[in-house]
Structure 1
Amino acid sequence: MIVEQLGLKDFRNYAGADVSLAAGANVFVGRNGQGKTNLVEAVAYLATLGSHRVSSDAPMVRDGQDAAIVRARLAHGERSVLLELQLNRQGTNKARVNGVNVRTSELPRYAQVVLFAPEDLQIVRGDPSARRRFADQLIVQRTPRMAGVLGDYDRVVRQRTALLKSARARGIRGDALGTLDVWDEKLVALGTEVIEARLALASDLASPVSDAYAAIAGADHDPRLEWALSVGGADPEEGESMDAAGSGAPLADQFRAALALRRPAELDRGLTLVGPHRDDLVLKVRGLPVKGYASHGESWSVALALRLASAELLRAESRLGDPVLILDDVFAELDAGRRTRLAELAGGYEQVIVTSAVEEDVPEGLRAHVVRVEAGQIKAGDE
């Protein structure tokens, strides 16, 4: 897949922008704060339905405006498709494909992007929510219909939690709250599907992550990833450890048993304490958790390996060709060896988009097409 043209209106600091991109390597160059990352954020949103920088859409709408527009013309071999997205500060977003109105959840069927940015260190070092978001965005790219499942699951969690808070406030306990059973079944049905997709993802990423880590770090530190599941009876969100393998019973049965076990605590706290929204993706190198034990270089290598493995997985499975590989302001953070190895790996993709404050930080092989960015304005490469 290749992004041939990107158009923005009222997106971040762009009143308007129109950018032509080429196959192969493209570099956006400009001082910090000029809008380089905003361009690649817009491209990635079409594929993941989310930002790598913020958890809500409102910050992407230019100050003083009600909506932002993202347009991208994509090439899938000889076929061309035009995607249009309207991000609303309030209310539901809108989307069109080749001029036809579609649900926004349809966009990942046409756009596949893997973006690596300094913020990705939070995947390996931050809270479980960062790792869940990484996994879920990749799941949506692999199976676009999962966007609807994840959205439905989030709504059930919110509604069930609201019921628990109401029950706590009214002093209702145990069997007196019969409506909770209905929400439990919805939670189990949707949550089981999410957990199964995440477990399959971890299994499928294992080999690509190991290969990518060795290629980036120049060493084999036996990187591993596995899910710690709240259906196992504990709570990874609060640091409680558990056997990631579970009990061996069917997943839905484990889910129901965990809900029954935790119901008194849920009623006391007014929170939904069981489900994929409480799980964690445990990352290890040399047999130790990356979070808290890995060096800075190892953490960078794991984060890079996760993204490169994601790209390899999508490349192997997709009919759209290679995903677009985006490297957002990362070369300045890497030592010379990792820079060279990353450039060699990235150069094998149909299209790579790099952002950098300093052009010379980007290896020469990735500087085929240079676009300069200044204060929300696109300049010609030689300006």
Structure 2
Amino acid sequence: MRVKKLALTNFRSYKSLELELAPGPTTFIGNNGSGKTNIAESLIYLAYLSSHRVSQNLPLLHLGTDQAIIRAEIERDDRTLQVDLEINASKANRARLNQNATKSQRDILGALQVIYFSPEDLDLVRGEPTHRRDFLDKLLITRAPRLAGVISDYDRVVKQRNTLLKTRAPENALAPWTEQLINLGAQLSAERIALVEELNPYVAANYANLNEVKPASIAYKSATDGLTTNTDENIQTLTARQLEVARQETERGASLIGPHRDDLHLQLGDFPAKGYASHGESWSMAISLRVGAFNLLKSEGAEPILILDDIFAELDTARRAQLTSVTKMAEQTIITAAVESDLPPELLSSKYYVSPGVVSKERATNV
């Protein structure tokens, strides 16, 4: 899989931008604030229908506009697919596949598969559980786009149920939302648990390849004991647990069971990575998670695009070499860097130079 052409209209700093992208690594080099990460972000948004930098659409729109368009020509499985996504400030996004309107923007999920790595990935190790849940859910969607609907529906149910709990709604009003929470939560938990079991060997191997001394492992940590990869069994377990905590939920005005309360546990040797890992070990674990996700997708026959956003400046020689080796396995890699000398010398790539609103093969005087 690779993106042959990328066009942006009113996206972030770009009023209009058209790029032709080659196979292999392509590097965008520019000062901080020049707009290089905006290019990477557009591809990430197209793949996940969400940004890795902001939670709202408005910051994605060029100043003074209420709509942005991302258009990509994607080559995969010996065919070409054109994907258009219209991002709106005050109404639902709209999408087109090969110039045909889709019923929902979610219909384009899976057209572009990416694995990205950015400086914010330290939050996977040091941050709150929401970062690790998001990592798992994005990987689930990449593998099986239909799960985007399950995840979205589950989030909606949790919000609505919490609203009812806060207002102390009667049981007959709460019951249908409780049933949905359990059914959707059971399915999402099963999918996450299966994913973590499959991902764990790749994470462990990648961490060892970084010459780290302690063994690394990952495990799914649920707020409800006894959950498995079997959805039906999870429904029974969650149903029983919900009855136990029903009074507490009413008192606290919050749903106390379900995958929105779960976490991905990261282990280094005898200790959890969070709180115990050094700065270098944290980077190694973050790299191992992202590269492990790439390895897992490759093992299943996928060819995801690799995006390395402003990451080489953060890493030492050994960790740079690990990421460089992964670029050789990817059909296409998009890299951003503030300083050209941050790039490993063995990384051979096409280069673009970025200044505000302009992307050129020639180095601008202020880059």
TM-score of the pair, normalised by structure 1: 0.90
Structure 1 stretches lacking a partner, 5+ long: 233-242
Corresponding position of 1:316? 299
| Residue 206 (structure 1) aligned to one of 194, 200, 203 | 200
The 10-residue stretch of structure 1 (333-342 or 151-160) with the greater mean CA deviation from structure 2: 333-342
Residues 29-72 of structure 1 deviation map (CA, whole Å, 9 limit, x = unaligned): 00001111110011011112221112232221222211111011
SS in 2 for 1:122: helix
Q: In the alignment, does 2:156 pair up with 1:150?
A: no
Q: Residue 236 of structure 2: which of 245, 253, 263 is its match?
A: 253
Distance 2:214 2:108 in 1: 37
Give, in whole Å, the separation in 1 of the partners of 2:357 and 2:224: 47
Matched with 1:236 is: none
Identity across the alignment (%): 40
Q: C-alpha separation between the residues in 2 aligned to 1:361 and 1:219?
A: 23
2:57 corresponds to 1:74: no
Question: Residue by residue, what CA displacement relative to the aligned partner does 1:77-123 show, whole Å, maximum 9, x if unpaired?
Answer: 43111111011112211111110112221222211100000001111
Give distance in 1, aligned partners of 2:189 and 2:276.
27
C-alpha displacement at 1:244, in angstroms?
8.2
Deviations 1:332-380 (A, max 9, x none): 1111122123212222211111100011111133342001110121112
- What aligned pairs does 1:210-249 form with structure 2 within 5 A after superposition? 210-215=204-209, 217-219=210-212, 221-232=214-225
The total of aligned residue pairs comes to: 362
CA contact (8 A) 1:27 1:367 kept: no
1:353 is paired with a residue of what secondary structure? Answer: strand
Query: Residues of 2 paired with 1:245 and 1:287: CA distance?
Result: 24
Matching residue within 356, 359, 367 for 1:375: 356
Residues 190-234 of structure 1, C-alpha deviation per residue, up to 9 Å, x if partnerless? 11111011001101101111122122x2235221111211223xx
RMSD, matched Cα: 1.9
The structural deviation recorded for 1:263 is: 1.5
SS in 1 for 2:214: coil
Contact preservation (8 Å) 1:230, 1:275? yes
For 1:226-375, list aligned pairs within 5 A. Answer: 226-232=219-225, 250-318=233-301, 321-375=302-356
Is 2:37–2:336's contact at 8 Å kept on the other side of the alignment? yes
Q: Which residue of the partner structure matches residue 235 of structure 1?
A: none
- The separation in 1 between residues aligned to 2:38 and 2:60, in whole angstroms, is 8
Deviations 1:304-339 (A, max 9, x none): 111111111112224xx5210011111111111221
Q: Are 2:28 and 1:28 equivalent residues in the alignment?
A: yes
**Is this contact kept in 2: 1:228–1:244, CA < 8 A?**
no
Poorly superposed stretches of 4+, deviation over 3 Å:
243-246
Deviations 1:258-291 (A, max 9, x none): 2112221211121112111111111111121111
Paired residue type of 1:362: L
CA contact (8 A) 1:48 1:138 kept: no
CA separation in 1, counterparts of 2:222 and 2:117? Answer: 26
Give the letter aligned to residue 76 of structure 2. Answer: H
Q: For 1:6 and 1:111, locate their aligned partners in 2 and report how far apart those are by CA, in whole Å.
A: 12
